[in-house]
Structure formats: structure tokens, C-alpha cells
Chains A and B, each alone.
Chain A
Amino acid sequence: MSIRTAIVRGAIDVAALLAEVESTANGATILFLGHVREMNDGRAVTGIEYSAYGEMAERELAAIASECAEHFGIAHLVAEHRLGALELGDVSIAIVAAHPHRAEAYEASRFVIEEVKRRLPIWKREGYADGASEWVNAGGVAHEQPAQEQQ
């Protein structure tokens, strides 16, 4: 079993992540990459600065991977999220899920990215072509406690 997660500051080595989950036990390997996109809400984006509550982000990402492994019977899963100043096209997150069968590999990959979006304490400040920059989601509605985490 190889389950590994990391919050990193340097470029993500996608080929190395794929090699990490390689096993003849697996019939399917799903690679998900999140990139910095050139447009958001009609504005031309020049880059994104990612920041995090580092210690908690590491714990939450590890917890997500652990839940994923248990839920989908995944034995080979690697996920890395990058912080710092990223340029257009840079990989901000990479998830590799491998399983004997494709259905579980697809579902596991989707589970990890959706949980990351929901609960990983990471924020991004987008820079725009007009020189402005803004926190993404900042100023949105107040986020209440997720229902399943209520006491």
C-alpha cells in the first residue's frame, strides 16, 4: 500500500508521481491535474499566489487520502498541492489514483479533488492583466460549518 500526500512549494513532478503508484496489481491509473487558467469570471488572469494554513492543510490532505483509501479500497494514491506564486499553466494540484479497476480509480480521484475544494485550508489570490489582484471567494457568503462536522 502506498498512500502519500504533500503540500509543496516547488514544481510538481507529475512523472515521478505516476511512477510512485506503478504496480502490476493495478489495471487503471487516473491522473488529475489542476492548472492555473487564463480566464476567471471574464477576467484575464496572469497568475495565482497560493497560501495555506500549512500544518492543518497537511493533516487534512492526509485525512482525505486516508478516507479515500478506506472508502474505495484504493491501495495506491498520491496527491500533492503546490503553494506560492504560480504562473499560467502551472500545476497547482496533482492526484494519482490507481486501482485494479477503472470505476474505483475514477471515483477515488474525484473524491479527493472534491474534498480538497470543500475543506483544505488553502487560499488563492489571483493576479489580473490590469494589474489588480483579488482573493478568490473573498467577500462571498459566510461559510457555515459543514453539516457533517457539526457537533
Chain B
Amino acid sequence: MTVTALLFASYAEALGSDRVELTLAGNTTVRDVVERLRAMPGGSSLPASPLVAVNLTYAGADQRVESGDEVAIIPPVAGG
């Protein structure tokens, strides 16, 4: 299955892209997606447990990820 990982701000700079298509085995969680990204070149800048949103809603590391999901890795926010 395929999920789209979105990267922002410092994380996008670290991985050199703001969007990565990942092909994963079934039975996948948010944690698996983060681990895949951290294994990519530049990915070691990502923390092991970053804030993550699945389909626009904050999600825990154990949340299941389905094919077609949009998984956003959220750097420390700095609005205001």
C-alpha cells in the first residue's frame, strides 16, 4: 500500500522534500511511517516521536495507517 508523507519547515529542509510517497506493507502504524522517514537521507533530524497528523487530525504513534492516507510530520509549532 502507498501513503503520502508530508514534511514541513525544518523537516522538509532536512529531507530535501515536502512530500514523500511511501510503499509499505499492510498492518502499518504511524510509528512505522516515521521510522521509514528517519531511515532516509537526512531523516535522522526527525525525532523518534514527532507530532503526527493523519488526514488532518493529530494521531498517536500506534494509530493504524491505511492506503491513501496523508501522514503529516509536524515540527514544533510556532504560530502566533
Q: Which residues of A contact B (CB under 8 A)?
A: 34, 50-53, 55-57, 59, 81, 92-93, 113, 116-125, 135-146, 149-151
Q: Once bound together, how far apart are the Cα atoms of A125 and B10, in whole Å?
A: 9
Q: Is the interface of B mostly helix, strand, loop or mixed?
A: loop
A142 near B48: Cβ-Cβ < 8 Å: yes
Determine the chain A residues whose CB is within 8 A of the CB of B8 once the complex forms: 51, 53, 121, 123
Contact B80 A151 (CB under 8 A): no
Contact yes or no, A135 B77, CB < 8 A: no
A-binding residues in B (CB < 8 A): 6, 8-10, 13, 47-51, 53, 56, 58-63, 72, 74-80
Q: Is the CB of B60 within 8 A of A125?
A: no
Please state if B10 and A138 are interface contacts (CB–CB under 8 Å): yes
Chain A residues contacting B76 (CB-CB under 8 Å) are: 137-138, 140, 143
Contact B9 A51 (CB under 8 A): yes
Set A51, A53, A93, A135: member contacting B72, Cβ < 8 A: A53
A138 touches B77 (CB 8 A): no
* B-side contacts of A136, CB under 8 Å: 78
Whether B63 and A151, one on each chain, are in contact in the complex, defined by CB atoms closer than 8 angstroms, is yes
Complex formed: what's the CA distance from A145 to B53 in Å? 10
Chain A min CB distance to B13 (Å): 8
How far, in whole Å, are A69 and B51 apart by their CA atoms in the complex? 26
Contacts A116-B80, A118-B77, A136-B78 known; A143 to B51 CB distance under 8 Å? Answer: yes
Judge whether B9 and A119 touch: CB under 8 Å.
Answer: no
Cα-based distance from A125 to B13 in the complex (angstroms) = 12
